[in-house]
């Protein structure tokens, strides 16, 4: 009798479990709010991407409910056929205005932008130059293209210049060169030197593509993102990708730039062409989120005030917070077992913050990744800081005073 052809599934999962590399997924019971219920326990959420606390904002909830009433539960199709609703058009117009771009195009997810657009921008006669710590969705998008690939050292524009200098000597000459970087790097919280990247790339005639998933709602004027943060324009950064699933508090991906870019994207990206469009409630809630960012700029200010307080307090306690420049603050502990113990003890004390270990980060670089939220109160922050201080001493991560 032949062996079950699906047996490798269980074998590989068992190997992950034995190596303690499997995801142990907890359940959120109710809305993503600062204090929420995880697996039946009330805890302080310190690891969501809900930077501005918009997931439970009354304006977003009302917009979603109203859209279901007026437009139904679903769109009924992909946008290219019969699912292109007026709400989708309104969202793109509002987003382009917010981003100060000529045009924007909304995808089903941020992952769909990177995996669907990158392979269309470059092909066999082209070169992609990517930061070594870019997000997995960028890596997958690059792999799906048939372009040649080069990697430059993380956030190192001198190394980027070296790679581009070598590319200019390539024979035959590349038809097109695309430089890709994350805006805010999700594991370390540092910010790409996009101004320098744009300058070096421009000198070599290369296109610049930035994944600003963790910069929107966080960086720039009123949370407009990394292009705004560095006071760049669309001639310097041609492709700005982002998501609605983080600071905007909903779900979806998008790209902003020239009208030529969005026309190209919706005609060429199969992830856009072959996926059902967002339900009306999602599109309407995203529009409401943009309204909130424009009308409540104090949310971004509060986010940064919390971020500064948390970073200073954790440093004062003796924790290593890496090189973060954003509301993503890694608490570096080194070994995976220590990170897991710290996370488990924090949960017992009422703080939900997950460990990030190999293979998500290099061995010896395990950490607890914390993310600030504008909806937290000063008392919430002090509660979290107190828990970290107590358990950090208990586990000998920081010194006793």
Token pair, residue 291, equals: 């309204």
- Residues taking part in catalysis: 186, 214, 246
Token pair, residue 235, equals: 């001639």
Closest-CA residue to 196 (of 162, 158, 170, 223): 158
Cα atoms in the 13 Å half-sphere on the side-chain side of 46:
31
The answer to whether 42 and 48 are in contact (CB under 8 A) is: no
Token pair, residue 12, equals: 């590989």
Token pair, residue 206, equals: 């290369």
Closest-CA residue to 334 (of 384, 381, 388, 396): 396
Q: Kindly state the percentage of the chain with pLDDT values over 90.
A: 93
User: pTM for this structure?
Assistant: 0.95
Map tokens 């979806």 to a residue.
252
Cβ-based neighbour number of residue 319 at 10 Å: 22
Q: Please, what are the domains in the chain?
A: 20-49+297-394 (3.90.1150.10), 58-295 (3.40.640.10)
Residue 111: partners with Cβ closer than 8 Å, 6 or more residues away: 137, 140, 253
- pLDDT by position in tens, the chain (length 401): 578 899 999 999 999 888 888 888 999 999 999 999 999 999 999 999 999 999 999 999 999 999 999 999 999 999 999 999 999 999 999 999 999 999 999 999 999 999 999 999 999 999 999 999 999 999 999 999 999 999 999 999 999 999 999 999 999 999 999 999 999 999 999 999 999 999 999 999 999 999 999 999 999 999 999 999 999 999 999 999 999 999 999 999 999 999 999 999 999 999 999 999 999 999 999 999 999 999 999 999 999 999 999 999 999 999 999 999 999 999 999 999 999 999 999 999 999 999 998 888 888 999 999 999 999 999 999 999 999 999 999 999 988 76
């Amino acid at each position: 009798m032949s062996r079950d052809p699906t047996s490798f599934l269980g074998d590989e999962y068992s190997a992950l479990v034995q190596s303690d590399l499997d995801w142990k997924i907890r359940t959120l019971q109710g809305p993503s709010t600062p204090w929420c219920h995880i697996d039946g326990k009330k805890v302080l959420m310190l690891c969501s991407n809900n930077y501005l606390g918009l997931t439970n904002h009354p304006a977003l909830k009302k917009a979603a409910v109203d859209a279901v009433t007026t437009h139904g539960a679903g769109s009924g199709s992909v946008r290219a056929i019969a699912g292109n609703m007026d709400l989708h058009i309104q969202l793109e117009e509002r987003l382009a205005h917010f981003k100060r771009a000529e045009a924007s195009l909304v995808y089903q997810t941020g992952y769909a932008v990177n995996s669907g657009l990158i392979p269309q921008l470059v092909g066999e006669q082209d070169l992609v130059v990517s930061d070594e710590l870019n997000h997995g969705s960028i890596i997958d998008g690059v792999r799906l293209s048939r372009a040649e690939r080069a990697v430059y050292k993380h956030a190192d524009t001198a190394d980027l210049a070296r790679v581009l200098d070598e590319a200019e000597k390539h024979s035959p000459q590349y038809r097109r060169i695309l430089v890709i970087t994350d805006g805010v790097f999700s594991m370390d919280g540092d910010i790409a030197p996009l101004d320098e990247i744009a300058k070096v790339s421009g000198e070599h005639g290369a296109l610049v593509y930035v994944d600003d998933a963790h910069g929107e709602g966080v960086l720039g004027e009123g949370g407009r993102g990394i292009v705004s943060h560095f006071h760049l324009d669309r001639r310097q950064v041609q492709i700005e990708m982002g998501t609605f699933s983080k600071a905007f508090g909903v779900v979806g991906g998008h790209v902003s730039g020239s009208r030529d870019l969005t026309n190209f994207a919706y005609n060429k990206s199969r992830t856009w062409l072959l996926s059902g469009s967002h339900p009306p409630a999602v599109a309407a809630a995203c529009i409401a989120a943009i309204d909130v960012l424009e009308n409540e700029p104090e949310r971004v200010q509060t986010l940064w005030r919390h971020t500064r307080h948390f970073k200073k307090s954790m440093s004062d306690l003796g924790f290593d917070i890496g090189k973060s420049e954003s509301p993503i603050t890694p608490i570096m502990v080194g070994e995976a077992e220590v990170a897991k113990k710290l996370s488990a003890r924090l949960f017992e004390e009422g703080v939900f913050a997950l460990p990030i270990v190999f293979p998500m980060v290099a061995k010896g670089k395990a950490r607890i990744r914390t993310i600030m939220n504008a909806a937290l109160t000063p008392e919430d922050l002090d509660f979290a800081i107190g828990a970290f201080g107590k358990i950090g001493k208990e586990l000998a991560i920081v010194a006793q005073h």
